[in-house]
Amino acid sequence: MSSRIRRPETLRLALTRGDWIVVKKHLTAGETRRVFRRMIRKGATGDEIDSLQVGLSKMVVYLVDWSITDADDQPVIIRGQSEDVVADVLEMLDVDSFSEILKAIEAHERTMEDEREEEKKTGTGNSKSDPTWPSLASSDGATNGSPN
C-alpha cells in the first residue's frame, strides 16, 4: 500500500562561489499552506497577495541549511531557526545572492513537480488509485447477501 505521508528528505543544491543550500525535497500540505499564508496581507478590500513576499515565503519554508557566511567569514546559522529569523537573514543578503537562492529553489521545485507527474504516469509514486471494489448489486439487481 502506498503512503500518503512522505518521509522528510533534504537535498543539497550547489550555488556559485562554492556555496550550497540544503532544501526540503518536498513540502507537506502544511508547509505549502505556510508559503501561501506568508504571502497574504490585509488590503483595503480584503486579503491580497503581497508580491514582495512571494519568493521570500517560498525560500523561508524550503531552506533547511546553507554555507553562507557573513562579512567576517563567520557562518550564518539558519538551521533550526524560526521562519521569521530565516526571513530576516534572507533580507540581509545582497540582491544577486537572494536571486540566486530563489532561482535554485524554484528550479528544484519544478524538478520535483516533474518527478511527481512522472510518478503518476508510471504508477510508481504515492498516487495510486484505489482498487476496484466488487459491486454490491448482482446481475439480477439484488444486493450481495440479500435473499433472491
Residue spans of the domains in the chain: they are 10-122
Tell how far CA 108 is from the center of its chain.
10
Query: Cα 128 to chain center, whole Å?
Result: 20
- 3 vs 6: CA distance, rounded Å: 7
Residues 6+ apart with CB under 8 A from 48: 40, 41, 42
Of the pLDDT bands very low, low, confident and very high (cuts 50, 70, 90), residue 127 is: very low
On whether the pTM is more than 0.75, the answer is no
Q: Which amino acid would we find at residue 115?
A: E
Please name which of 146, 72, 59 lies closest in space to residue 107, comparing C-alpha atoms: 59
User: pLDDT tens digit string along 12-56?
Assistant: 999 999 999 999 999 888 788 887 777 777 777 777 776 777 789
Amino acid at position 58, single letter? K
